[in-house]
Structures are given as C-alpha cells and as structure tokens.
C-alpha cells in the first residue's frame, strides 16, 4: 500500500475508533484514584492468612521436604475433566498463604470466570498477594469490572498484556486500524496459561477462564488438559511469570485509556454483583473445593512421583522480533525444546493439537523422521471440521491431508463433535439443574469411562485400543465419587441433544465460529496441546505446534521425563482417538481405473496457492464398523482397513451451507494464511 494512502486509511480508522490517548497527567490522575481507593484492611491476622487446610497444598510442601540438593522431588497430576480442573483451581487459591500468580489468554465474566475472580479477591482480602496478568485481545472487556478491580485492594494487582492503542476493549475500527498500522505487534499475543500458588504448586495447560473450558457451557465445550505440578520446578514458573509481569507491554489496568477514563469520570465503580446462570452448580464445586477428602482422593491419591520435570516457556523478548524472517537469536524457548524432543524420538510420537497446520521447519522436521531407516510412528489427534472452533485453520489442515499422510507419515484421528467417551459430565451440560429427572442408573460409567489402565495393550494392533479402569496420574471425579456421567446413548444424552446448538463465545466473527452440524446438542471440540515421546517423555502446555505458536504467540509447557507419567498421558490421548471419540483419516480406496491420474492431479492442485478446487481428495474420514470379522480397530495401513471401516465423507456431521462453502473456498485460496494460523 502507498505510504500516504496507508496514513490516510489509518487516520480514518483511528477517528472511527475513538482511541485518543489520555495524557500522561490524566493517566497519573486515574492511577492515583485507583490506588487511593484500594482497601488495606486484611480479614485475617494469622500467619497462614487463614488459608484452607488442603491436602493438595500439603503435597507441595511434601515435595519440597523430600527434595535434596541435586535431587528435586516432584509430583504431577493430569487434569482431564473440565469441572475437576476448576475445583483444583479453587482449592489452590483458597489454600494460598503468601502469593497467587495467574496468567491467561482469555478471562471471561461468565460463571466459572467470575467464581475464580471472586476467589482471587477473597484471597487478597485475607492477606495473600494476588497478581493477575491477562492478554488484552481476550481480556475482561467490561470497563466497570476492570475499574472496580483496579481499586479493589492493595493486595490485588491486574495487568493487561500488549494492549492495542492502550485500551482494554476494542471495537471493529480498532481491529481494522491495528491491521493497517501494526499487524505484527497486534498478532503478538501472550498465550501462556499459568497458575502458581506460594511458588510451590503450579497448574499449566490449555484452559483459559471461561465456561467452555470447564464443561459448563450447555452447547459447546472444549476437551482440554492441564497438569498440576508440585515441587521446586514451580519456582521456574514463578520466575517466568515475573518476567512477563515486569515486561513493558504489561500495563496496569488503571493506566489503560478506557479504564482511566472510567476512573476519571466516576471514580472506582462498585464491582457488579455476580449473577450466576447456574448458582447450584457454583455452590456444588465450591463445596467440593472445600472438601478435604474429595480433594485428597481426586488430586493427591492420583498424583504421580515423577523423575524429571522441566518448565519451558517463552519470554516477552520473543515479541521484540519485527519480522518472522528475522533470526530468533535465542528469543524462542518453547519451540526449540519441543522440536528437540520430536527429533529424539526412536519409536513413537503421540501428538495432540486442535489445529493441525505446520510451518515449513516443522514439515522438514517430520520429513527427516520419516526418512530414517527405522522411522518412529507419528500419531496425531486433532479436530474434525464439525468439532473445531476455528474452521479457517481446519480449511488449511484439510488442504494438506495428502502431504501429512503420505509425505510425513502421520496417522491422523479427528475428534468427533459428539464423542461417546469424553471425560465430561454430560449432566453438567443440561440447561436445568441436576435433578430427579436423571435416573440414578445414568450416573454409572460405561465400560470405557475413566480411561485406560497403565497395563493395557494400547500398543497392539491399533493406536486407539484402550481398556477400562481407573487411571493413576489423572484426576478423575468418577473414581473419587462414583456418581457421574453417562455415555451409553440413554436418557441423559437424549435430553442434552434437544438443546439448540449455538457457536462458541470464543468465535468473535462469523467465519471463526463452529460450523452448523447435522445434530443438535452440546458438542465438544479438542483444545488440548500435549505430546508423548517413546512412552517416556510427556508434554502438557499451551503450544499448538502451529506457525502462530512458533512466530507470534508466547507459549509454555511442562516436560516430564518419566515413563509412568508418559504412559498415563498416552492413555489419555489414546482414549481421545478411540473410535467412539474420533474418526480415522485415511487414503480412499483406490478406484479400479484412473487412480494414478487422480492422485497426480490432486497433488498438483494441493501445491497451488490459489485455485485448489480439485474435488476428489486423496484422503477422507472413516468410521470403524465392529463385527465378527472386525473385532478391534485397525491401523490405516492394515490390508483389512477398508473392510472394517466405512467412509463418512470429508466433513462428517457438518451441514452443507454457506459456511461449509467458505471453508472450501479457504482451502482453494487460503494457503497464504498459513504463517499466521
């Protein structure tokens, strides 16, 4: 764009956005109003700040007590279930005696987010130092809430990372202006997700603070994963958080232009009262977070002593790069570590990512693995189009299925929108409170619920063979209380499926929402970011293994070198790729004639940056059909694969319509978007 024209467009957009900045004097006045209003009253004068007596918090103390110079001791617990992970967070916040650091990409104001926010403020009032750091792009956008938080208590601090135009809340003009003036900076987001309590326990994983991540949305929820780590490595998490907290791009909420105007106009507003959509559910998880026996059974008894723990995370300096083409010069931390782990694989890589779009260096890494004489098997768990919250990304994943299968050797499983064996309490998704309309028998587990025992033959004839039984290493409410879930196609599921589907709150634009599907009800989408190498090393974090994570976002992950933990994580991923939960992506059965011509034309079409319209793609999705001749799932390379699997189409369960057509158009014309996806 001509520089003069660019300047004129930017000026027009800035006028429309109303983004005139406060002067330094006005900003100082606003900050002074917030500071002056902060209460210094502390509810508790006890040395422990009246912290909840928690077996989980005690596990952190035990890890430090058992650690010696050169021999640190750690414990790790996987958090597969959404609501259980919320209970863990509440318990840890209530058990804090000194400090709480919370870092996240999204912080909403719905039931789960407001519950956590209220708990953080309560901790501050009893004397705990609370610091909350949220990325601006998906931060709390309610100026009344932000203004109230900025002046709530001397022990509570809130900062916003990389605020565009110094604002907390953006309008469409702001988005447009940011693309014109500062595209790269606007896209540099803090994607890290971290909760650190007393520098002793940390929670790392994919979950943000929004109902979708805790199985509390009645129409769309994420299948996600966190890990609780107890022990000395948590200090590295705290140090990384502190680096972000002190970064120039982390701005106190009261110093933002729109929050500052609110403070100058009306002073510190009162915190809007919590208006919980499902108060009985909030009360239930609150009680469970206070229940020491529940906490012990769910989080402590399932914790694994692990041999080696490393927290790797990017630092704010990653965002100093002006262009992705510039040398990283040590600015990237997470990506090189993960690449090295993949390169070290000898027998197997289990990779789980919601967005299967690879950068060129990542493609080369997997091609190198593929060329080995004894190439490791690569299994990928990702979203189907019907399950994903990001159809744009899926369109590019779809474009390169042939490459991923044939050239990179991937074995791909696409998560279903209505998985029959997901780690979720389906009754949580009902629009009405839990009640007598759910028969007691529906609380029983199916033969697969609860995951796979560590001794299962999951490495047999199929990647996705799982056995029943409780799992060590993974917090499972079912094993703790025996009162949850039904996935046997009975009344609970039918009741849920009567609800009308709506797109996730996360999709702020029509093109970036889940697509309409052929069934109604509460669907799920994969959001977990995990990896297992050789059943020896397990990784749980925020990195999506995509170009955006490599070039734009800051990310973090826990790497645990321990075969027992790695097996527990592997079983969790294998459960997700079981036929009840995922379709298999495989080459189509070859037609009797012209198969070679079809392959060649399809490959040439795929290579086109635009006009990739070839309709007969190399691969499609398949559904397992069990029977006497097909007693167990097969690998796609098995000669009997097409006997035991039936093709269900490229986009199973997706309604054909304008949005479906948009995905197809993005496949044809969207190759240039890959570097920012």
Residue 66, CB half-sphere, CA atoms under 13 Å: how many? 15
Give me 658's structure tokens: 């304008």
- Check residue 666 and give its pLDDT: 74
For residue 567, what are the contacts with CB-CB under 8 A and spacing of at least 6?
454, 535
Distance (Å, whole) CA 315 – CA 331: 7
CATH topology of domain 308-321+336-423+511-676: Endonuclease; Chain A (3.30.870)
Distance (Å, whole) CA 25 – CA 338: 46
Q: What is the dihedral of CA 535, 541, 545, 548, to 10 degrees?
A: -170
Q: SS3 letters for 47-103?
A: CCCCCCCCHHHHHHHHHHHCCECCECCEEEEEECCHHHHHHHHHHHHHHCCCEEEEE
Distance (Å, whole) CA 189 – CA 359: 18
- Check residue 323 and give its pLDDT: 60
- DSSP-derived secondary structure letter, 324: T
Distance (Å, whole) CA 281 – CA 279: 5
Distance (Å, whole) CA 105 – CA 103: 7
Distance (Å, whole) CA 237 – CA 92: 16
Strands 410-415, 348-352: pairing kind: unpaired
Crossing angle for the helix pair 111-125 and 82-95, to the nearest 10 degrees: 10
- Does residue 311 contact residue 329 with C-beta atoms inside 8 Å? no
Radius of gyration for the alpha carbons in the chain, expressed in angstroms and rounded = 25
Q: What is the mean pLDDT of each run of 10 residues along the chain (677 residues)?
A: 51 53 95 98 96 98 95 98 98 99 97 98 98 92 95 98 91 79 86 98 98 94 98 98 98 97 97 95 97 98 96 95 58 89 98 95 96 97 96 90 96 98 78 46 30 33 45 70 38 31 36 80 95 99 93 96 98 98 94 63 68 76 97 97 96 83 72 70
Give me 505's structure tokens: 């709150």
Q: Evaluate the CA torsion angle 546, 550, 553, 558 in order and state its sign.
A: positive
Return the domain boundaries, the chain. Answer: 3-69+84-201+229-276, 308-321+336-423+511-676
Give me 302's structure tokens: 């399932």
Distance (Å, whole) CA 146 – CA 162: 16
For residue 544, what are the contacts with CB-CB under 8 A and spacing of at least 6?
353, 354, 355, 529
Distance (Å, whole) CA 437 – CA 498: 15
Per-residue exposure over 105-123, b if at least 16 CB sit within 10 Å of its own CB, e if not: bbbbbbbbbbbbbebbbeb
Residue 535 vs residues 521, 557, 559, 573: alpha-carbon distances, Å: 36, 17, 13, 12
Distance (Å, whole) CA 128 – CA 262: 27
**Judging by beta carbons within 10 Å of its beta carbon (0-12, 13-18, 19+), is residue 455 exposed, middle or buried?**
exposed
Domain 3-69+84-201+229-276 shares a fold with domain 308-321+336-423+511-676: yes
- Which CATH number does 3-69+84-201+229-276 carry? 3.30.870.10
pTM over 0.75: yes
**Judging by beta carbons within 10 Å of its beta carbon (0-12, 13-18, 19+), is residue 270 exposed, middle or buried?**
exposed
């Amino acid at each position: 764009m001509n520089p003069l024209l660019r300047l004129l467009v930017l000026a027009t957009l800035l006028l429309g956005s109303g983004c005139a900045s406060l002067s330094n004097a006005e900003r100082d006045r606003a900050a002074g109003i917030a500071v002056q209003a902060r209460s210094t009253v502390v509810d508790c004068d006890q040395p422990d700040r009246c912290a909840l007596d928690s077996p989980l918090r005690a596990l952190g103390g035990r890890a430090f007590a058992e650690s010696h110079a050169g021999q640190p001791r750690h414990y790790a617990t996987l958090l597969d279930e959404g609501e259980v992970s919320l209970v863990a967070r509440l318990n840890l916040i209530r058990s804090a005696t000194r400090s709480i650091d919370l870092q996240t990409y999204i912080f909403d104001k719905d039931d789960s987010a407001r519950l956590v926010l209220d708990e953080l403020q309560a901790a501050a009032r009893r004397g705990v130092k609370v610091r909350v750091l949220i990325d601006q792009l998906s931060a709390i956008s309610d100026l009344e809430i932000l203004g109230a938080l900025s002046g709530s208590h001397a022990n509570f601090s809130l900062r916003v990372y990389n605020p565009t135009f110094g604002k907390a809340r953006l309008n469409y003009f702001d988005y447009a202006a940011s693309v014109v003036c500062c595209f790269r900076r606007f896209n540099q987001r803090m994607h890290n997700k971290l909760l650190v309590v007393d520098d002793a326990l940390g929670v790392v994983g994919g979950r943000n603070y929004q109902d979708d991540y805790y199985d509390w949305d009645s129409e769309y929820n994420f299948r996600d994963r966190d890990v609780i780590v107890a022990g000395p490595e948590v200090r590295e998490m705290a140090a990384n958080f502190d680096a972000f907290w002190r970064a120039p791009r982390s701005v106190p909420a009261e110093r933002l232009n729109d929050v500052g105007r609110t403070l100058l106009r009306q002073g510190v507003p009162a915190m809007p009262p919590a208006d919980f959509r499902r108060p009985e559910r909030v009360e239930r998880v609150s009680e469970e977070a206070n229940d020491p026996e529940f906490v012990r059974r769910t989080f402590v008894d399932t914790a694994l002593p692990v041999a080696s723990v490393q927290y790797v995370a990017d630092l704010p300096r990653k965002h100093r790069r002006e262009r992705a083409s510039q040398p990283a010069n040590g600015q990237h931390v997470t990506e090189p570590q993960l690449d090295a782990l993949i390169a070290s694989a000898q027998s197997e890589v289990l990779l789980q990512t919601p967005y299967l779009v690879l950068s060129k260096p990542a493609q080369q890494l997997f091609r190198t693995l593929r060329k080995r004489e004894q190439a490791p098997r690569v299994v990928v768990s990702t979203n189907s189009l019907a399950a994903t919250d990001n159809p744009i990304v899926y369109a590019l994943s779809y474009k390169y299925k042939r490459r991923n299968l044939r050239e990179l050797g991937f074995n791909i499983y696409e998560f279903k929108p209505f998985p029959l064996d997901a780690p979720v309490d389906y009754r949580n998704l009902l629009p009405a409170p839990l009640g007598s309309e759910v028969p007691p028998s529906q609380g029983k587990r199916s033969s697969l619920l609860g995951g796979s025992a560590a001794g299962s033959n999951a490495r047999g004839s199929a990647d996705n063979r799982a056995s029943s039984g409780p799992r060590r290493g993974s917090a499972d409410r079912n094993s703790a209380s025996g009162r949850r879930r039904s996935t046997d196609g009975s009344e609970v599921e039918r009741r849920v499926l009567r609800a009308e589907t709506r797109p996730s709150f996360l999709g702020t634009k029509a093109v970036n929402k889940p697509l309409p599907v052929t069934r109604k009800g509460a669907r799920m989408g994969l959001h977990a970011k995990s990896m297992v190498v050789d059943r020896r090393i397990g990784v749980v974090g925020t990195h999506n293994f995509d170009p955006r994570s490599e070039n734009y976002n800051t990310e973090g992950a826990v790497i645990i070198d321990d075969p027992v933990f790695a097996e527990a994580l592997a079983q969790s991923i294998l459960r997700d790729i079981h036929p009840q939960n995922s379709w298999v992506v495989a080459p189509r059965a070859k037609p009797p004639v012209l198969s070679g011509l079809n392959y060649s034309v399809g490959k040439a079409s795929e290579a086109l940056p635009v006009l990739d319209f070839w309709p007969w793609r190399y691969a499609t999705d398949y559904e397992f059909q069990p029977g006497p001749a097909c007693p167990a799932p097969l690998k796609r390379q098995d000669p009997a694969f097409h006997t035991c699997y039936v093709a269900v189409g490229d986009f199973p369960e997706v309604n054909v319509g304008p949005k479906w057509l948009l995905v197809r158009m993005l496949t044809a014309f969207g190759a240039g978007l890959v570097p920012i996806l």
